[in-house]
Structure 1
Amino acid sequence: MDDRTHTSTRLFGETPPEFKAAGRDLRIDICRGIALWWIFLDHVPNNIGSWLTPRNYGFCDAAEIFMFLSGVTCALAYGRAREREGWSSMIGRSLRRGWDIYAAFLLLTLACVVLVYLAGSDDLADLSNTRILLQHPGATLAHAVILQYRPVNTDVLPVFVIFHVLFAPLLWLLLRAPNVTLGASLLLYALVHVFGWSVPAWPNGVWFFNPLAWQLLIVLGAWCVIEGGKFRPWMMSRPALVLAVLYLVFGLVLAQSWSIKPLVPQTLKDLVFPLDKSNLSPIRLLHFVALAIVVLRFIPQNWGALSTPTLSCARWCGENSLSIYCLGVLLALASHLTLLDLSEGLAMQIVVSFAGVLMMIVGARLLNAISLKRERKSGWTQSIEKVPPVR
């Protein structure tokens, strides 16, 4: 996915060059890792660390980044699996990954309620939406199994379950009619905003991340892998960059207008805010697109800083996104409990923010080490099996 390389027109049915490319764009895992750090910092209420995240400087936040990059990684991983092993193997991979996320969601739900129970905090039980699980465990777990109940901050996992299970037909459509598929996704997104379509949750309300709306970012990410090369020269052009920067500045001014009153008239703020995150407000979507254009323009694939220690730490987290996301949810709960029980002062906010990110990095490093050890053991076993027997 080299954003500075001209891509020739792809014939109908031809395999996208990204599926044949060896290796992986480091920017993908680095951006996912940074997004995971930002999500953790945003999940800790009243946390000074959240001022390091994009939430306070525009309309979108780390959720849009994480969703879009999930579409990119799914297209690359499943597209290459389909190229090497065929459709049946690719479908099996997507279903297994969907099952992994589903199991992780259920285990995370149980871990959240255990943590809240051990903490013995009524406030945390209410804020984490786990009180109902403590009071009615049978009914609540039954609804969790069918993805209708979710503790706070776990909402994104059921969405990913659905998208991984359905990614095979999406990839089939994108490979045959990419622009039509993206158009259908845009149409569904528009209908959600026109008619207010949503997915019900239990015991009341709807899914916080409405999959009927957020599917657009997944589809857009996959479309960029398969067809985006044709539009990349326009995205890298000066007019696109100017428009993106102007929109980012506009978002920054409006976001800061809450603390600097004279910046923007109240009528304009009332028109824009509050932003609808559940249905992916168009203003949030445009802000993410503008941010993506700027990042692609100024951070090329061969940028030397991608190998620095800090960004390497982010890459480790991005490579283990599911495990680190779940760890981040638990760390956010623990951090919130720490702030409630010990101190909500600035120093403690800095400590829990730094400690949480550090624990995510350590966890990712350990997971990579375990994975590497398994690969070496597997390779050693295979080499032994290939040795002919002594006669």
Structure 2
Amino acid sequence: MPTRAAAAPAAKPGRDHRVDALRGAALLMMFADHIPQNILNRLTIRNLGFADAAEIFVLLAGFASMLAYGGAFRREGWSVGLRRLGRRVVRLYVFQMLMMITTLLMILFWRQHHTVPVDFLEPELAHGFDSLWRVFSMQALPGNLNILPLYMVLLLAFPLIYTALRLSAPLALAVSAALWALINLDPAINLPNWLDPDGWYFDPFAWQFLFTLGAWSASATRSTGGDMPRRAWAVAACWLYLAFSAVQSFPWEQWGLPKLSPLPIDPPLKTPLSPLRLIDVLSIFYLVQSSALMRRFAAVPAGQVLAVFGRHSLEVFSLGTVLDLVGRLAMTTYGTGLLMQIAVNVVGIGTLYLVATALDRRKQRKKQQKAATA
């Protein structure tokens, strides 16, 4: 966990850190959510609303992509922007493959000494590397390793999304929304996944709408520094919806309480990004990006603790995924008592923070060196 010796780097004056802080919060929630036995995941938005951290991650990916690659297209031309985007896709692929190989090796090693339930790895992959070529060719997406492939596909589509938004934002959003609506009407439209007959867990044809909305919001708020117009009626509507979402989704039984969910509905589907989930994450995003208070919070030390995770999302997510597996294996083998809960969370989150701050300092040193030689 954060210590005096490893304090979060100070925020830069004038910069909007809300996106970084929100993305950092999403990454920490992912860490908790991917360990089913972790009591912390009872307090993440997965159990306090229809959406979860994945929706936040994808929405902010669209926002950040418009700032990074859309900005490069505008300022430095398409060739520079495409090269940067291509390097990012390659980097995502390398991290995806490293996580997959690490997962396989860790589980195979652990099975030599302990019993490992088959649900830790799909049965088709549990007995060796015969089918690993399917993973390398993106034909097989194991559970908990399926969001980076979505991100890769969306980044590859970003030049088209960027062009469409530049030509006509209303038309681009309408087409994107129509494709999302089509998938909700016919969820069978999906990319194939050898490990799942239903296809990709995150259907790219549906989730592109959330990514596009993020890209559009970055473009629409560029002149206001990321601030969305704050309207009292919109704020009230968002809070009312999130309150309904929280009461409807709360795990009443896990807390030994009578179920108080007002409507007898099933949890909204994640694969096609059902409307209830979409409205949930958009409400959260609007409340954050229209709030001056949240802007100030993201710039103070407490907010920077979250923002430092968000500034290095790929590394934090990838390492967090590996630490999640360690935590799951440890809790399955040795129990889920209080000491184990503390050890898994303190060591896991503390390690992520130390790595994120080290990456932050290295990045700052490179900037300083570049400025000194300029």
TM-score, scaled to structure 2? 0.87
* Structure 2 counterpart of 1:279: 272
Match of 1:179 in 2: 170
Could you say which structure has the larger radius of gyration?
1
The correspondence of residues 100-115 of structure 1 with structure 2, limited to 5 A, is 100-115=91-106
The one-letter code of the counterpart of 2:348 is: G
Note the C-alpha offset of 1:241: 1.4
Q: How does 1:99-138 map to 2 (within 5 A)?
A: 99-120=90-111, 124=116, 126-129=118-121, 131-138=123-130
Give 3-state SS (helix, strand or coil) of 2:273's partner.
Answer: coil
Tell me if structure 2 keeps the 8 A contact 1:72–1:218: yes
1:255 corresponds in structure 2 to 249
Cα distance in structure 1, aligned partners of 2:108 and 2:228: 54
Cα distance in 2 between the residues matched to 1:56 and 1:157: 23
In structure 2, the residue matched to 1:19 is none
Per-residue CA distance 1:144-194 (angstroms, 9 max, x = gap): 122121232111000111111221121111111111111111000000011
| Residue 284 of structure 2: aligned partner | 291
Distance 1:292 1:204, change over 3 A: closer
User: What number of residue pairs does the alignment pair up?
Assistant: 355
1:185–1:219 CA contact under 8 A, matched in 2: yes
Match of 1:342 among 334, 345, 353: 334
Q: The residue matched to 1:135 in structure 2 has which SS?
A: coil
Which residue of structure 2 lines up, in the alignment, with residue 167 of structure 1? 158
Q: Deviation at 1:379?
A: 5.2
Residues 125/262 of structure 1: CA separation in 2 closer, same or farther (3 Å cut): closer
The answer (yes or no) to whether the contact 1:235–1:293 under 8 Å persists in 2 is no
The TM-score, its normalising length taken from structure 1, stands at 0.84
Counterpart for residue 211 of structure 2: 218
Structure 1 counterpart of 2:57, from 49, 66, 71: 66
1:189 corresponds in structure 2 to: 180
- Paired with 1:362 and 1:289, the residues of 2 have a C-alpha distance of 31
Taking a change above 3 Å as real, the CA distance of residues 263 and 125 of structure 1, as seen in their structure-2 partners, is closer
CA distance 1:103–1:362, shift in 2 (3 Å): same
Contact 1:116 1:125 in 2 (8 A): no
Asked if 1:244 is matched to 2:235, the reply is no
**Separation (CA, whole Å) in 1 of partners of 2:79 and 2:14:** 23
Deviations 1:292-340 (A, max 9, x none): 232234444641x323333222212111111110001001000111111
Q: C-alpha distance in 1, partners of 2:310/2:250?
A: 30
**Displacement, 1:99?**
1.0
Deviation at 1:137, TM superposition (A): 1.3
The reply to whether residue 44 of structure 1 matches residue 35 of structure 2 is yes
Gaps of 5+ in 1: 1-21, 384-391
Gaps of 5+ in 2: 1-12
Helix, strand or coil at the partner of 1:274: coil
Query: In structure 2, what is the equivalent of residue 3 of structure 1?
Result: none
**Cα distance in 1 for residues equivalent to 2:62 and 2:140:** 25
**Greater RCO, CA 8 A, separation 6+:** 2
Q: 2:303 aligns with which of 291, 311, 336?
A: 311
1:349 to 1:194, Cα distance in 2 relative to 1, 3 A: same
Output the amino acid matched with 2:86: L
Superposition deviation, residue 229 in structure 1? 7.4
The 8 Å contact of residues 118 and 126 in structure 2, kept in 1 or not, is answered as no
- SS of the equivalent of 2:190 reads coil
Residue 48 of structure 1 deviates from its aligned partner by: 0.7
Deviation per CA, 1:70-126, whole angstroms, max 9, x where unpaired? Answer: 000000011221222111111111111111101111111111111112222776462
Residue identity matched to 1:74:
S
Q: Matched residue of 1:263: which SS?
A: coil
Give distance in 2, aligned partners of 1:256 and 1:153.
23
Letter in 2 for 1:81: A
